[in-house]
Structure 1
């Protein structure tokens, strides 16, 4: 396996584990994937730092019951041993205000190698 292929495989695994953590609806499983100084851009606003991001994700967990979040169609326009950019598609299903709901959109993630592991430094999701 080439170095690029190995990196792509490693980062794809990171994204799968990130998806699983989000689908656990347990913020304590999600936070370890996120850099302390991360910036997240969601359709409902921008969040800087782990505290704001954690609050935004917890609100989503509260608002969308039984959510299933899926990340697919990963593309890696930038892929190095220290930084990677992932373009993807996402979809979700769940229950909002007692009604079944779903959505989909596009995502961009900036992932960095810090302290011996990959961390999400930026996430931009838009529908």
Structure 2
């Protein structure tokens, strides 16, 4: 399914540690709800990503137990457990939490319009 590929592309872009790659998958009006902050512009989202990549070096992000709650030709919503691992101050760290992603079609491409992460 194309929306499943969009999620896979999003995770690969996240793991590139280059927000330009992530931005290609984001809807221009994307809204992110992180545990500690709401980001409502691509600039805010990018700053949050770069801060996270700076805090956790060599971070690897993954999604497990993905469940697609809704999907049609224009939108798709999934929930999953996210997992991250990397190095904080030279020490290996890892963690996980819950995620919700909503994808929508814009100009015949699947774009992420909302992500909600909670620890």
TM-score, normalising length: structure 1: 0.89
- The equivalent residue for 1:21 is 13
Task: Count matched residues.
Answer: 119
Q: Secondary structure at the match of 2:47?
A: helix
**Matched residues in 2 for 1:96 and 1:79: separation?**
37
Provide Cα deviations, 1:53-92, integer angstroms capped at 9, x if missing partner. 1111111111110101001211111111111111111100
Q: Quick check: 2:2–2:110 contact (8 Å CA) kept in 1?
A: no
**Partner residue, 1:6:** none
Name 1:57's counterpart in structure 2: 49
Kindly indicate which of the two structures has a greater share of residues assigned to helix.
Answer: 1
Cα deviation for residue 106 of structure 1 reads 0.9
| Counterparts of 2:66 and 2:100, CA distance in 1 | 10
Separation in structure 1 between the aligned mates of residue 95 and residue 17 of structure 2, nearest angstrom? 18
In structure 2, stretches of 5+ residues that fail to align are none
1:1-127 mapped onto 2 (5 Å cutoff): 9-127=1-119
d(CA) in 2 for partners of 1:66 and 1:118? Answer: 27
Mapped to 1, the partners of 2:40 and 2:114 lie a distance apart of 9
User: Structure 1: any 5+ residue segments left out of the alignment?
Assistant: 1-8
